Structure 1
Amino acid sequence: MDTEITNGAEGAEAAAGTLLTDQPGNQGNNDTSGDGGKSNADVSGNDEADKGKDGADAVKPNEPEPFELIAPDGYPINDAGLKGLNDLCRSAKLTKEQGEAVMQYMAGNYSTWQEQQQAQGTAWIEEFKADKDFGGDKFDASLADAKKALATFDESGTVSKMLAETGYGNNPEVLKIFARVGKALGEDKLPGMSGGAADKPLEDRFYPNM
């Protein structure tokens, strides 16, 4: 608010478009002594048993058929994360069905988390809209001020990306801070700014009487 999850929405950007950021084998073991009087079938069976005895140490238990898990649509797991999960399934000797069950479990958890994030974002928006100082008929102006502040001070877009990915672009306290800053920008009320002072040359602001 890991197996790492960035590709597919690098972000799934859980809250993309926030208010502030529009945007088994068998082996024989029979005794073969005294073959006289036995049928060919008996002898053949004993021969196979001998082979089983001779190679007992080399026989390994049946292992699952190799497989590669594929992420379901909507589950953002990158190549490294998917490789790690496949390696884990192989080392645990899981069958394909078991591996797919693990994948579905992980994807289901992500889907639940995403729904919770969306519900939280909706609740935050409603809270901001109901705020007596920033919501109601002041909502549009407050949002415009908040976006102005973000655009002014986040030239690289790093903060905007973080707000979108985490959903905090809808958080009412975050919105209030940016709205206050944006409003102060419009009124030249930021510290060190007054009456267009920011437009004056630096030397004139330091030495106004010269």
Structure 2
Amino acid sequence: MTAPTVCVFDYGFGNVRSATRALEHVGADVTLTADRAVAENADGLVVPGVGAFAAVMDGLRAARGDQIVGRRLAGGRPVLGICVGMQVMFERGVEHGIESEGLDQWPGVVELLQAPVVPNMGWATVEAPEGTRLFKGVEDERFYFVHSYGAREFPLGTTEDTGRFAAPLVTWSRAGTAEQSDAFVAAVENGPLSATQFHPEKSGDAGLQLLKNWVTGL
């Protein structure tokens, strides 16, 4: 059986080497590149992201990543965003009072977490929804987060099908202590578009299983 092809989009912002190794470990045939043809034609596209929202968006646009993501999703071809690669899928981001446009695949804003300590760094559990495929077998495991910003709301309806398309499945987590914590979106499964705020490639066996779940669905 031929291994699914995955392009890790190499546009200058992300843990591309660790993501590549993790995906290869779970059976994908991985190419690390910013080549448009490869990115558009692979079975799956991974969009990593590290740094400021605005800088990541500038990098994506410079590499035509915004067009590539749009074309893939319009054709129902899978995309996986990781960390800031997830954040830019939202309508906009606000950092240090500066508002930047995202890819607008989902309504909503990425903003500073309202937690006693930021960045939110370390291992944390998630609240995965019923019917999740991404978290199958690892619903109760912990994943590695490192971020100061996140989507604290998900305005797109998540309880009913929205016409032709099933409603997104949204996974939540919390930053801060039990007494004072802030809920944020930890992952989204929305047709061909999936994304995680945490780093699956840095999340041990649980992260590898999550990536395997995504790869086997390509």
TM-score, normalised with respect to structure 2: 0.21
User: Whose radius of gyration is greater, 1 or 2?
Assistant: 1
Structure with greater strand share of residues? 2
Greater helix proportion: 1
